[in-house]
Amino acid sequence: MPSSTRFAVAIHALTVLTLLRDRPSRSEDLARSVQTNPAVIRRILGLLADAGIVKTQLGQGGGALLAKEPEEITLREIYRAVEEPHLFALHRSPPYPKCYVGHNITPVLEEEFSRIEQAAGAALDKTTMADIAAQVETTAGFAFKGDLRFPQPRAAARKPA
């Protein structure tokens, strides 16, 4: 298991953005859905923005939006944007060069790991954010109607006090 949960959080946030389409999402609202701190969301959104996947609007009424169509955002792009590139680690310190194996194992491992990462990458390429959003709707059992049902949509729509 990787130490980082950024990939899962990024997909979660992007799912919200996909469902809300043109309505900007604030980091505070995304954080509530993910159950984390707004700063964590902002950092991940920053990585996604660097990759051209999302864009953000400052100020009142602002927030994050998708920068391209959900059909064009693959899981591979997201992974590359928020996680370390390698799935497998090599030795911490280089192996003993005077040993037959130590001297020759590294390029073999690199080639082998690269081959497996390519296979995983191909699998990641098969799914887009449009697919994820559709799967979420299927899991929910009913189509998304524009309301995430956050408890406090902003201030208090139901709390007159």
Partner DNA sequence: CCTTTGTGTGCGTGATACAGTTACACAAAT
Partner DNA sequence: ATTTGTGTAACTGTATCACGCACACAAAGG
> Which residues of this protein are in contact with DNA, per CB under 7 A?
2-6, 9, 25-28, 35-40, 42-43, 45-46, 49, 56-64, 84, 92-93, 154
Cβ proximity to its own copies: between 60 and 145 the closer is 145
Shortest distance in whole angstroms from residue 139 CB to DNA: 23
Shortest distance in whole angstroms from residue 47 CB to its own copies: 16
24 scored as a contact of its own copies (CB under 8 A)? no
Cβ proximity to DNA: between 25 and 138 the closer is 25
Q: Of 64-93, which residues contact its own copies (CB under 8 A)?
A: 75, 84-93
The DSSP secondary-structure symbol of 65 reads E
Question: Do the bridges between strand 63-66 and strand 54-57 make them parallel or antiparallel, or are there none, so unpaired?
Answer: antiparallel
Cβ proximity to DNA: between 59 and 141 the closer is 59
35 scored as a contact of its own copies (CB under 8 A)? yes
Write out the two tokens for 36: 């984390």
Range in contact with its own copies (rule: CB under 8 A) among 5-13, 44-52, 55-63, 66-74: 5-13
Shortest distance in whole angstroms from residue 48 CB to DNA: 9
- The rounded distance, in Å, linking the Cα atoms of 121 and 146 is 32
Please name the residue that has the structure tokens 């006090």: 161
Question: Residue 131 CB: number of other CB atoms within 10 A?
Answer: 15
Backbone angles phi, psi at 36, to 5 degrees: -150, -165
Q: Which residues contact 102 (CB under 8 A, 6 or more apart)?
A: 95, 96
Binding interface with its own copies (CB under 8 A): 1-5, 7-9, 11-12, 15-16, 19, 32-36, 75, 84-96, 98-105, 107-109, 111-112, 115-116, 118-120, 122-124, 127, 132, 135-137, 139-140, 144, 147-151
